[in-house]
Amino acid sequence: MAWLQDASGDTLRVFLTDHLQQGATVITDGWAPYRPATKDRYTHERVVQPGTKASELLPGVHRIASLVQRWLLGTHQGAVNESHLSLYLDEFVFRFNRRHSRSRGMVFYRVLKLAAGHDPVRYSELILNPRRNTTHRTPPATRGRPASLDRPRRTGPGGTLLRSAPVRWIARILLMTNRLQIRVHPRRGLVESSVSA
């Protein structure tokens, strides 16, 4: 399975030359670009019946095409980069060919064996179309602190530290201790609480 730039006869011929031996039989529907792609090199059998859908004539091909489409749009949410599409198709072929494997552990073993038998792949080698960052970001040390952190700490009468808590915590706080004084601020929606000694 491969990704093709276009569906012209020349492109299809290059694909067939890369994947099939000369003299092989190619079974297709009646689409016109298949004729020049198979001319003088392959035995071409066209399966055409008037009034019949192509999906009924070649159900296996259309089933695989719909599985690939559903896999790319469903599993990957359509977020497949064009430059990596051939790698995704290779993964689909790997999974599809092993879908009836009796020993799933052997599939994992073979993947590990393939991974261990190759040189490590760096992240920079995986990125085919890196995006250059043209904007310069300010380092975190020079950005300063948010305004909420610059506020002075609030103290209540007698110098006790006041803490702000969402209203939904009131019941939980009241159950924890009976040494709590609570004041509700209707405009802010917060509760000021102070702990008495």
- Tell me how many domains the chain contains: 2
CB 8 within 8 A of CB 37: no
Same domain, 14 and 78: yes
Statement to judge: residues 166 and 72 lie in one domain: no
CA atoms within 13 A on the CB side of 184: 6
pLDDT of residue 21: 92
| Domain assignment present for 139 | no
Among 126, 161, 177, the domain boundary falls at: 126
The C-alpha atoms of residue 184 and residue 6 are separated, in whole angstroms, by: 69
Query: Are 27 and 107 in a shared domain?
Result: yes
Of all residues in the chain, the percent with pLDDT exceeding 70 is: 65
121 and 183 share a domain? no
If pLDDT is split at 50, 70 and 90, which confidence band does 70 have?
Answer: very high
Across the strands, what pairs with 195?
180
102: pLDDT strictly greater than 50 = yes
Residue 147, in any domain of the structure: no
The answer to the question of residue 189 being in a domain is yes
Beta bridge mates, 26: 44
Flag whether 165 is in a domain: yes
> Do 105 and 161 share a domain, yes or no?
no
Residue 195 exposed, middle or buried by CB count within 10 Å (0-12, 13-18, 19+): middle
Higher pLDDT, 175 or 92: 92
Give yes or no for residue 138 having a pLDDT over 80: no
**What is the rounded CA–CA span in Å between residue 53 and residue 59?**
10
* Domain extent at residue 112: 9-126
Are both 52 and 107 inside the same structural domain? yes
Asked if 82 and 167 sit in the same domain, the reply is no
Q: Tell me the C-alpha to C-alpha distance, in Å, between residue 83 and each of 2, 8, 87, 129.
A: 12, 20, 9, 7
pLDDT the model gives residue 172 = 45
- Same domain? 120 vs 160: no
Q: Does 109 lie in the same domain as 47?
A: yes
**Using an 8 Å Cβ cutoff, are 22 and 42 in contact?**
yes
The predicted model scores a pTM of 0.54
Structure-token pair, residue 173 = 């706080």
**Domain limit, last residue, from 85, 111, 126:** 126
Q: Which residues pair with 164 in a beta bridge?
A: 192
> Which pLDDT score, from 0 to 100, does residue 78 have?
83
Whether residue 118 sits in one domain with residue 75: yes
